Amino acid sequence: HLLSSLSTEYIVAFTGYFSAKARSLYISRALQGAGDGALEWHIVPRENPASDFPSDFELVHIRQASPRSLLTLEDHPYIKRVTPQRKVFRTLKYIPSPETAAPCNATRGTQKWQSWQSSRPFRRTSLSLGSGFWHATGRHSSRRLLRAIPRHVAQILQADVLWQMGHTGSGVKVAVFDTGLSEKHPHFKNVKERTNWTNEKTLDDGLGHGTFVAGVIASMRECQGFAPDSELHIFRVFTNNQVSYTSWFLDAFNYAILKKIDVLNLSIGGPDFMDHPFVDKVWELTANRVIMVSAIGNDGPLYGTLNNPADQMDVIGVGGIDFEDNIARFSSRGMTTWELPGGYGRVKPDIVTYGSGVRGSGMKEGCRSLSGTSVASPVVAGAVTLLASTVLNRELVNPASMKQALIASARRLPGVNMFEQGHGKLDLIRAYQILNSYRPQASLSPSYIDLTECPYMWPYCSQPIYYGGMPTIVNVTILNGMGVTGRVVDKPIWQPYLPQNGDNIDVAISYSPVLWPWAGYLAVSISVAKKAASWEGIAQGHVMVTVASPAENDVGGELTSTVKLPVKVKIVPTPPRSKRVLWDQYHNLRYPPGYFPRDNLRMKNDPLDWNGDHIHTNFRDMYQHLRSMGYFVEVLGAPITCFDASQYGTLLMVDSEEEYFPEEITKLRRDIDNGLSLIIFSDWYNTSVMRKVKFYDENTRQWWMPDTGGANIPALNDLISVWGMAFSDGLYEGDFTLADHDMYYASGCSIARFPEDGIVIAKNLKDQGLEVLKQETAVVEGVPILGLYQTPSDGGGRIALYGDSNCIDDSHRQKGSSSIITQHQKTPTLKHLRRNLYFCFRSWS
Ligand SMILES: *[C@@H]1O[C@H](CO)[C@@H](O)[C@H](O)[C@H]1NC(C)=O
Ligand SMILES: *[C@@H]1O[C@H](CO)[C@@H](O)[C@H](O)[C@H]1NC(C)=O
Ligand SMILES: *[C@@H]1O[C@H](CO)[C@@H](O)[C@H](O)[C@H]1NC(C)=O
Ligand SMILES: *[C@@H]1O[C@H](CO)[C@@H](O)[C@H](O)[C@H]1NC(C)=O
Ligand SMILES: *[C@@H]1O[C@H](CO)[C@@H](O)[C@H](O)[C@H]1NC(C)=O
């Protein structure tokens, strides 16, 4: 396993809600069952407003818990899961606009905000209001942004039209999960309650963030919010130092369910969609009709950077734009990565709205302006609150119907794709119209599939389909406004339009049998029929899907809704073998590892690979480049034994971690004899270095012990040994030139063995392993890094090995990282290597 966990505090999640007494009884019974009398443990008291009610979890302190004792706990019939308690940080990188100076005390404020920049660890955070956006290039040049005058966002979105009709948010309960709010803030008239979930002796906002977001939602003067009459429930879940714990959140969430909160804008987010207590709790919240709005993150412009929970189907995930309708550079991009390697990601964000230079309430009084997707998210939360208050029959407002109204009314932005803008820009007035004539129904996101529509349907529109290609998967979200549970009735059917050559495509469909909460998926796999192998043209048809939900009021009744999904594709004749490249996704382990170490000095970027390692996420540039050179790139989401190699020129393996079955090794060997070529980009793997870079993280109370380096070299060596090839466990770094290109080798390995009749390119590089292990610097002459080989059999393929994959991975070449590479070159330290390491390993657990 990747991490040897030495946590001391665990969240013990139960299968239902129990009294404190019952919970304690179950835990002690379960631990007695472990037969470990010496185990020291106690229940950590939680004194907060949720303590008065039954709960579905307990916080347990266990000294030196063995994996066995944790497993025994999980064996108890009422215990669902045991996970380490986590400390949650948020990073605030605010850029107060110049205009902010008046009401907020500018100088002091600025310094304070900036002093937080260092904490970027273990994030369930969406609050890094990226400095990157000020240094932006191209379309989002910093000059333009500096000129952007902060505006009253509620007015720009025409909230005043609804105010004049008498809609001001009244009767809608909004929860603000943040840093609190001071008691007598002049901007708010309807603060229903302020609750304390932290260990600090205050309910006030010592930071300004909680006040700002509350203001965007409900301020009634100066910088007006959307819904001044809404009922504000202020949950102080973050300390003034931006720290929180899983248990604080879970308690506060349970309380929000009890209080029948209508709208909750979630103030945290992180890359880890496998953080179970958290993801489960979000499902439970939406199942209880809490409309969740969350920011998709500030990790753009890299793709595959969506934060959880905004990437969930039941949550409204919001991205940011500036006032000139450009997607904010910092706004995270799709696709979702839960579905890899076998399937395909869903479209997210859901919508975008203003996230740059938005004005909101200042900490004590007055206004200030801020930027970030965390600013765009309260804009949507405010709009949702206002919208909910316009509907006479509140029964009709639920997490699905609200999302349906928002996405159906959103305005498509020209020139940007669906992974950047989702359904487009929030349009409050159109959403109001749709919501007020709403009939419960199902709908689809995206609502149609047009593989010819560029750039909106990127990446689908970037490559036509052809006979024999891997099926193109479009993973559509089904939203069900009829009820929290639903099901797909019968099998969805594909209906080709015969005059439009619909019979030239084959469609296979998989779908969630049960839609809960409020949503499910409809994955459409499209391939070309054999008879169209040399045909060129456009083919069309549609998929029909019927959803049923139990009617909420009449006993035994059922509501049904049938939706049509139009499909349009462009077909070309199958390209020649030499033009077809297959990307091995299957052996790229998917993130996430679960825990993020804190390294507050340099680690500004994400510590781990969490972008999916897919040609449409962090290998997007490489993909575009191959496409522009006329190659067709397909994705293999299954073992090597599962594809017909005679169709492909090249198999591309980058930085793979998964092991190979003996059958795969045998098949690959045969495939290469028969003319398939293989390109492997590897990475480093050195056990001494791995041991050296393990460390104890005092914040998560975890040991970080990587069990693999950048790539799984032992597994790769198994694969390539038949050709007399092997990678080494060396670790090298440095600059060099190759065919007039300036290159940088960022902690790669070298080639240890290569056939004599092959070509090997060697360069002088620094022995980075030695540097880490012994703090010695040594340049090694002639390190073999690139090997090129023509297999001897008649018509046999070629093999190319390269020891480093950083050069083709976008996540190492984006804004922050390029500067890190520069730092790295100047002062390679253990820290740099660690971060490089985190980029490269994933969970084996
Ligand atoms: C900022 O704070 C200082 C000290 O608290 C005060 O003297 C000064 O007038 C304030 N400036 C503004 C612009 O409010
Ligand atoms: C908040 O809760 C903590 C822990 O129970 C307590 O120490 C603190 O005094 C509380 N603060 C307020 C303002 O109630
Ligand atoms: C589609 O998305 C759902 C939800 O994430 C996932 O469970 C399913 O496996 C995906 N299907 C495909 C074929 O990608
Ligand atoms: C809304 O959520 C975003 C992150 O998802 C957060 O930055 C912001 O503080 C939240 N606002 C409120 C009102 O809770
Ligand atoms: C790791 O790298 C060091 C330094 O280059 C080297 O001496 C050692 O042999 C490598 N392998 C292992 C297993 O330590």
* Edge-to-edge strands, sheet with 486-496: 449-450, 558-571, 537-550, 486-496, 514-515
Q: How far is CA 806 from CA 590, 655, 688, 736, 737, in A?
A: 17, 9, 22, 14, 16
| Pocket lining: 44 vs ligand 2, CB cutoff 6 Å | no
- Residue 523: exposure state from Cβ atoms within 10 A (0-12, 13-18, ≥19): middle
How far, in Å, CA of 372 to CA of 56, rounded? Answer: 34
pLDDT of residue 566: 98
At 374, give phi and psi (nearest 5°): -70, -15
Nearest CA to ligand 1 atom 11: 105
Ligand 2 centroid from CA 127, angstroms: 25
Are the C-beta atoms of 700 and 836 separated by less than 8 Å? no
Nearest CA to ligand 1 atom 5: 105
The answer for residues whose C-beta is within 8 angstroms of residue 254's C-beta and 6 or more apart is 50, 53, 55, 56
CA angle 362, 379, 606 (to 5 degrees): 90
Are the C-beta atoms of 781 and 750 separated by less than 8 Å? no
Catalytic hit among 76, 209, 542, 614: 209
Q: How far is CA 421 from CA 58, 139, 224, 328, in A?
A: 40, 16, 26, 10
Q: In 3D, which of 412, 397, 406 has the Cα closest to residue 428?
A: 406
Nearest CA to ligand 3 atom 1: 475
Are the C-beta atoms of 10 and 67 separated by less than 8 Å? no
Q: In the structure encoding, which two tokens stand for residue 744, read together?
A: 């940088």
DSSP 8-state code for residue 200: S
625 catalytic per annotation = no
Q: Which residue has the tokens 């091995």?
A: 584
The answer for residues whose C-beta is within 8 angstroms of residue 829's C-beta and 6 or more apart is none
pLDDT of residue 341: 87
Query: Could you write out the DSSP letters of every residue in 609-634?
Result: --S-S-TTTTTHHHHHHHHHTT-EEE
CA angle 364, 381, 112 (to 5 degrees): 35
Structural domain 449-571, CATH architecture: Sandwich (2.60)
Ligand 1 centroid from CA 33, angstroms: 63
What sign does the dihedral 14-18-21-26 (CA atoms) show? negative
* Global confidence as pTM: 0.86
Which residue stretches of the chain have pLDDT < 70?
1-7, 33-37, 67, 89-151, 267-275, 554-555, 590-609, 693-709, 813-845
The one-letter code for the residue type at 46 is: R
Domain 577-808 carries which CATH code? 3.40.50
Q: In the structure encoding, which two tokens stand for residue 49, read together?
A: 């407003």
Are the C-beta atoms of 316 and 349 separated by less than 8 Å? no
Q: In 3D, which of 270, 310, 247 has the Cα closest to residue 58?
A: 247
Catalytic hit among 267, 374, 443, 677: 374
Ligand 5 centroid from CA 842, angstroms: 22
178 catalytic per annotation = yes
| Pocket lining: 105 vs ligand 1, CB cutoff 6 Å | yes
How far, in Å, CA of 569 to CA of 108, rounded? Answer: 57
Q: How far is CA 559 from CA 285, 437, 483, 506, 562, in A?
A: 23, 18, 9, 31, 10
pLDDT in tens, 158-185: 999 999 999 999 999 999 998 999 999 9
Ligand 1 centroid from CA 362, angstroms: 15
Tell which phi-psi region holds residue 665, choosing left (phi > 0), alpha (psi between -120 and 50) or beta: alpha
Nearest CA to ligand 2 atom 4: 199
Strand partners, 59: 11
| Residue 715 CB coordination number (10 Å) | 17
Are the C-beta atoms of 189 and 215 separated by less than 8 Å? no
pLDDT of residue 269: 62
| Pocket lining: 45 vs ligand 2, CB cutoff 6 Å | no
Nearest CA to ligand 5 atom 7: 770
- Residue 570: exposure state from Cβ atoms within 10 A (0-12, 13-18, ≥19): middle
The answer for residues whose C-beta is within 8 angstroms of residue 721's C-beta and 6 or more apart is none
Ligand 4 centroid from CA 210, angstroms: 8
Are the C-beta atoms of 589 and 844 separated by less than 8 Å? yes
Helix (H, G, I), strand (E, B) or coil at 703: strand
| Pocket lining: 522 vs ligand 4, CB cutoff 6 Å | no
Structural domain 153-436, CATH architecture: 3-Layer(aba) Sandwich (3.40)
Catalytic hit among 56, 178, 683, 729: 178
| Residue 738 CB coordination number (10 Å) | 12
The one-letter code for the residue type at 532 is: A
Are the C-beta atoms of 740 and 711 separated by less than 8 Å? no
Ligand 1 centroid from CA 106, angstroms: 8
Q: In 3D, which of 225, 120, 217, 223 has the Cα closest to residue 178?
A: 217
Are the C-beta atoms of 446 and 373 separated by less than 8 Å? no
At 102, give phi and psi (nearest 5°): -55, -70
pLDDT of residue 845: 19
Ligand 4 centroid from CA 209, angstroms: 9
Nearest CA to ligand 1 atom 7: 105
CA angle 681, 682, 687 (to 5 degrees): 175
Atom of ligand 1 nearest to the CA of 106: 13
| Pocket lining: 199 vs ligand 2, CB cutoff 6 Å | yes
What sign does the dihedral 122-123-128-131 (CA atoms) show? positive
Q: In residues, how long is the chain?
A: 845
| Residue 71 CB coordination number (10 Å) | 11
Helix (H, G, I), strand (E, B) or coil at 108: helix
How far, in Å, CA of 469 to CA of 363, rounded? Answer: 57
Atom of ligand 2 nearest to the CA of 46: 5
pLDDT of residue 32: 81
Ligand 3 pocket mutation pick from 475, 477, 585 by most atoms within 8 angstroms of CB: 475
The answer for residues whose C-beta is within 8 angstroms of residue 791's C-beta and 6 or more apart is 672, 673, 723, 797, 798, 799
Q: In the structure encoding, which two tokens stand for residue 154, read together?
A: 């509620």
Determine how β-strand 351-354 pairs with β-strand 650-654.
unpaired
Determine how β-strand 505-511 pairs with β-strand 519-528.
antiparallel
The full set of domain ranges for the chain reads 2-89, 153-436, 449-571, 577-808
Same fold, 153-436 and 577-808: yes
How far, in Å, CA of 371 to CA of 303, rounded? Answer: 20
Are the C-beta atoms of 630 and 624 separated by less than 8 Å? no
pLDDT of residue 671: 97
Identify which ligand lies nearest to the alpha carbon of 108.
1
pLDDT of residue 632: 98
pLDDT of residue 99: 38
Nearest CA to ligand 5 atom 1: 686
Name the CA radius of gyration of the chain, rounded: 27
Query: 246-258 vs 276-287: helix axis angle to the nearest 10?
Result: 10
Determine how β-strand 472-480 pairs with β-strand 519-528.
antiparallel
CATH topology of domain 2-89: Alpha-Beta Plaits (3.30.70)
Are the C-beta atoms of 741 and 808 separated by less than 8 Å? no
Q: In the structure encoding, which two tokens stand for residue 845, read together?
A: 């657990």
The answer for residues whose C-beta is within 8 angstroms of residue 753's C-beta and 6 or more apart is 724, 725, 726
pLDDT of residue 590: 63
